[in-house]
Amino acid sequence: MINNRFQGVNAAKWGKCFVIVLLVLLIPFAIQQVVQYQQLPKKVTIATGKTGGRYRQIIEAVGSALQERTGVKVEFVESPGSSDNFRKIANGEADFALFQPNVLESLRQESEVDLSNVRCVASLFPELALVHLDESLDVSVFTGEGVSRSLNIAAGEVGSGDAITTQYLLEFYGVSGPLQTHFFDYETLLTQLEARSIDVAVVTTGKNAPIQQDIADLRHMNLVSLPYLEAIVERNPVFKRKTIPAGYFRTSPAYPQEDIHTIGVNAQLITNSSTSAYLVSLVAEIVTDPTFVSKQHLGELQVGGIDYARSDPCVPFHVGALHHYSPELKPWLDPEFISNTESIRSFVVSICVAFFLFIRWWRTKQILKSEHRLDKFMARLLEIEREQIELAEGEVVMSDCDVLEELLDEVTQLRSDAMESFSANELMQDTGTECFIMLSNSISEKINAKLTRMRLRHELQNIQKLNSSQGGE
């Protein structure tokens, strides 16, 4: 009965406490929500690549669009290419950069590069390994037949994807004979090719990169297909088979003069895992915007859309990019933040639970050490019980009935005083209170019953006396 009476009051009180505790625990997460998803950094650093390549063209366009949209300062840092870009992102020296995934194998061998810090934003365009040979040579340099003279091979700059791809192809084909590998930037490469100091140039870029057109304009170079393409793709799945149609480069005569079959790998935009999810989401929105894609001639991204942007990630996607691609899956809190703060949250919750248990134990101990507030009520109830038993042992008199009425009123008053001195929560939790109420009700019923019997006996006694007096007369 008491449980039903005070259930609503108790539930409301505990509900209010729960809400307060929940709000206190969620304060750090609310702060993180503002910082991680809404706040932009004062400056964004972007690694560009070298002049003449597609990296520089596209990444500068991304930076300009970001600065125009948000007003944040964008700083461009020049780099040789893919390998150096990845290092800068991993070490936190740059916020965004492009790279080709085939450089990962060599980077995994560098202990100072932490691959776990790098996240993918989008795949933007395929980079093709285009092999330009001096017109005096043919593809036999790659088939094991060798050449009679020393070969000068241009492999791009150290730290670039060109260097990694060139080295991979030389090892795959087992190119024999004397050769010298030179590491040039694109401007120096073009100068050396004009002087005919380079026999072979392996340039891994987007097919519409300025350097590819510049080489095509030299007239004394030939673009050749790579033999054993299926074997390359089978051994290294990061590569895909790609084709350059005859006459793709605007020259006369046509360059190349026939379809060229080679390997390609998707250039991917990457960022650091600590970069603001809101910022990454904005960048993902920029690079997938149809107007941006069209201006930068990103044909594959224009055709494939979001599916192409999400294809073949070599590192996990940044949560900000996932929020852009799948906004319906965007959580209120950053999962990485939740994971990183798990130990702190566990510690805080453990402290709160321990504090709650300590307070509960202390209150229980204090209650057990002190006299219970019900003790005086219970003692008086027992006295009333004994007093009502002693009444009307013999002949019933009206004074006994008056005493019983007073005792009944006192029991009622005791019950009322007890109810007023306890809170609803104490009445719910203290079994002694329930016992007291049950006992007081029992005594009230007993006194009522006894009072009724005594009055009835008193009336019967009066009738007997009346009959006796009338019979004597």
* Cis peptide bond upstream of 253, omega within 30: yes
Pairing label, strands 179-182, 118-134? unpaired
Q: What are phi and psi of 415, to 5 degrees?
A: -65, -40
Q: For position 52, what pLDDT does the model report?
A: 81
Does residue 330 register a pLDDT over 70? no
Does position 63 have pLDDT exceeding 90, yes or no? yes
Report whether pLDDT(144) > 80.
no
Give the C-alpha separation, 415 to 152, whole Å. Answer: 107
Task: Classify domain 43-333 at the CATH class level.
Answer: alpha beta
Exposed, middle or buried: residue 13 (CB in 10 Å: 0-12, 13-18, 19+)?
middle
**Tokens, residue 184:** 């040039």
User: Is pLDDT at 430 greater than 70 in this prediction?
Assistant: no
- Tally helices (H) and strands (E) across the chain: 19, 10
Confidence of residue 318 (pLDDT cuts 50, 70, 90): very high
- Average pLDDT, whole number, for the chain? 82
Asked whether residue 333 carries a pLDDT value surpassing 60, the answer given is no
Ordered DSSP codes for 25-43: HHHHHHHHHHHHHHPPPSE
Residues of the chain above pLDDT 90, percent: 33
Contact 178, 151 (CB under 8 A): yes
Mean pLDDT of 237-258: 91
DSSP 376: H
For residues 83-109, give the mean pLDDT: 90
Lowest mean pLDDT among 34-43, 102-111, 181-190: 34-43
Which pLDDT belongs to residue 3? 42
Q: Which residue has the higher pLDDT, 227 or 428?
A: 227
| Domain range summary for the chain, segments of one domain joined by + | 2-30, 43-333, 334-370, 371-472
Asked if residue 69 has pLDDT above 80, the reply is: yes
**Cα–Cα distance measured from residue 270 to residue 99, given in angstroms and rounded to the nearest whole number:** 8
Most confident range (mean pLDDT) of 39-43, 250-254, 303-307, 400-404 is 303-307
471 is written with which tokens? 């019979």
Residue 146: pLDDT above 70? no
